[in-house]
Amino acid sequence: MPETHTLIEPNPGGFYALLGGRLGVHRIRSDRDLLALVEKRLPASAIQSLVRSGLSNAEVYRLIVPRRTLAHRFAKHQPLSKEESDKAVRVARITALAEQVFGEPERAWRWMRKPKRQFAAKTPIEMLVTEAGARLVEELIAQIDDGMIS
């Protein structure tokens, strides 16, 4: 059976603070808090926070919510749907993990946007379009954190 690697957080509070900053939401202390945010639906302003953290508009439209839908949400002062909220949390979680492992936002984003042989020349950010892809990216980040891959 293949060995599974998990990312051990030396400072979970720091990770959740970083994650909350990416979403523009405070008081995230656990995965249960993340689940509650998704179920209550994130405000559309969470997208602006993700863009400020380094995600491009094109990546938002491809990974989380189409441009016209997002414009509609802002115009009508509507929150994201549960599905869009879940996608936003997925992107924020993985990019926050990358930043934590690489130590600097610029290094993390550079890594996230560089094609990887393990992903058939896709970038880690492209892999986040599905939960299964996000899990593979998380596994690779864990291997880097463990020193198994450079």
With b for 16 or more beta-carbon neighbours within 10 A and e for fewer, the 131-143 pattern comes to eebbebbbbbbbe
Which pLDDT value is given to residue 27?
Answer: 82
Within a domain: 87:
yes
Within a domain: 7:
no
Within a domain: 43:
yes
What mean pLDDT do residues 115-128 have? 97
Residue type, 23: L
Give the number of domains in the chain: 1
Q: What is the mean pLDDT of the chain?
A: 90
Within a domain: 3:
no
Within a domain: 47:
yes
Give residue-wise pLDDT tens across range 52-89. 999 999 999 999 999 999 999 999 999 999 999 999 99
Within a domain: 61:
yes
H or E segment and range at residue 66: none
Residue 76's domain comprises 12-145
Question: Exposed, middle or buried: residue 103 (CB in 10 Å: 0-12, 13-18, 19+)?
Answer: exposed
Give residue-wise pLDDT tens across range 15-53. 888 899 999 998 899 999 999 999 999 999 999 999 999
Within a domain: 2:
no
pTM over cut 0.75:
yes
Within a domain: 82:
yes
Rounded CA-CA distance 68/129 in Å is 18
